[in-house]
Structure 1
Amino acid sequence: MTKVHPNTSSAESARAELGCGGAGVVAEATVLTVWRKSLLFNGNGFTVFDGKGNLVFRVDNYASGSRNEIVLMDVAGKPLLSIRRKKLSLGDHWLIYSGEEVINPRFAVKKCTSLRQSKTLARVTPCVPGAKAFATFVIEGSYSQRSCCVYDNRHQQLAEIKRKESPQGIALGLDVFRLTVEPDLDSSLAMAIVILLEQMFGSR
């Protein structure tokens, strides 16, 4: 990370580059550095930087409050996605909404539980009326080791979480890792999936 503090003048260009908020899709994969730390003092959350060290996403609103609702924000603090635990559901089941909406969720994410050994961690299903079953995503691997991927129904990789290494090739701690997002997946949704993996499999 070359910068820790946000470069607010580049907020709109950063969102356009990441394909957030309807800004379009880039032709190449987006590589982000995720820091499992809030910008707020002594708070839990995430701070996410682009390849130039500019802040692009932040999560810092659940340090002392309920973790049943988490908001992913852009560099300026604008809510992009709200993540809420589904009420009256069995297992670890969450819903993803646009902005701060409380109706019409965009995606449902459910932790996979199986008596058999499985590398599948969770499934992401669109909630939009008329959405096809093939639009479901699956997350496989090990979040605790920061080694997992998001795949589409054809098992094409859409995103990857991987340990970040120093220029000398030394793996950094689990609190700093790399998120690579392919053009077919919105980066804000990929980051929402990271947040949910932390809720489902994190050490906190």
Structure 2
Amino acid sequence: MGSKASGRTIKIMPIVSKLHCSVSEEVLVVRHRPHVVNGGGFVVTDSAQNPVFSADGCGVLGNKDEIILRDSYGSPLLLIRRKGGIVEVLSMTRKWKGYTTEFEGSQKLVFTLKEPNSSCFLKNIPVKISIESSHYGSDHRSFAVAGYFPDRVCSIVDSLGNAIAQVGGCKEIEMESKDIYNVTVKPGIDQAFVIGVIAILDYIYGGSTRC
């Protein structure tokens, strides 16, 4: 699947939905909500400050280890849950799973994020992501987070090491803040998938989506 922009063919790579894939690079701004306002979470705007996504964590949902990513209208795009139980306790990794909701209300698994138990303490432990949807191309079905999210300096890279999205500080904010930062998404990449991954990283590292 491809689309042309400025004479170049951009490969569209939908994971959650092609509606959230742009033929141009997009810079999104993430702003954390205070925990006392709507239970925390964060909102995402585009370069024109228009709302694009929002993430609700356990402060809103009342459930730990669960996040809902919504579109600009408040409709749910992704239900994200961490796998629990004795299997996880015995495992060396913690797994987060992202689901979309089908038309009949059934849930469809689209990606899994594996969080090493020691990732909260060591900066160089990779966070791995695998695409579960059969609709996604077989060439690039694995991703990883390179860098250290709490420092707001990290990238989501594909299996070839190419960055599909980058997290960085927000230059428009004079005072350095970890609560407002940019996410630059490459052309053709599913922005909903990227922000879903950001929401999980936010929760893992004790951000606004976590109680």
Paired position in structure 1 for 2:4: none
What is the root-mean-square deviation of aligned Cα atoms in Å? 2.9
Query: Greater RCO between the two (CA within 8 Å, min separation 6)?
Result: 2
Paired position in structure 2 for 1:51: 47
Is 1:197 the counterpart of 2:201 in the alignment?
yes
Q: TM-score, normalised by structure 1?
A: 0.77
Per the TM alignment, residue 114 of structure 1 is displaced from its structure 2 partner at its CA by: 6.2
User: What is the rounded CA distance, in whole Å, between the counterparts of 2:118 and 2:145 in structure 1?
Assistant: 14
User: What is the rounded CA distance, in whole Å, between the counterparts of 1:47 and 1:158 in structure 2?
Assistant: 21
**Structure-2 change in CA distance of 1:41 and 1:201 (3 Å):** closer
Query: 1:120·1:141 contact (CA, 8 Å) conserved in 2?
Result: no
**Structure-2 change in CA distance of 1:106 and 1:38 (3 Å):** farther
Give unmatched runs, 5+ long, in structure 2. Answer: 1-13
User: What is the rounded CA distance, in whole Å, between the counterparts of 1:77 and 1:40 in structure 2?
Assistant: 20
Paired position in structure 1 for 2:65: 68
Paired position in structure 2 for 1:186: 190
**Structure-2 change in CA distance of 1:129 and 1:121 (3 Å):** same
SS class of match (1:190): helix
- Name the count of aligned residue pairs: 184
**Residues 1-204 of structure 1: matches in 2 within 5 Å?**
21-23=17-19, 25-37=21-33, 41=37, 43-63=39-59, 65-88=62-85, 89=88, 90=91, 91-99=93-101, 103-113=107-117, 119-129=124-134, 132=138, 134-166=140-172, 170=174, 172-202=176-206
Per the TM alignment, residue 184 of structure 1 is displaced from its structure 2 partner at its CA by: 3.6
**Structure-2 change in CA distance of 1:182 and 1:120 (3 Å):** farther
Q: TM-score, normalised by structure 2?
A: 0.75
Q: Deviations over 1:115-139 (max 9, x none)?
A: 9x66243111012359748410010
Paired position in structure 2 for 1:15: none
User: What is the rounded CA distance, in whole Å, between the counterparts of 1:172 and 1:201 in structure 2?
Assistant: 18
Paired position in structure 1 for 2:6: none
More strand, by proportion: 2
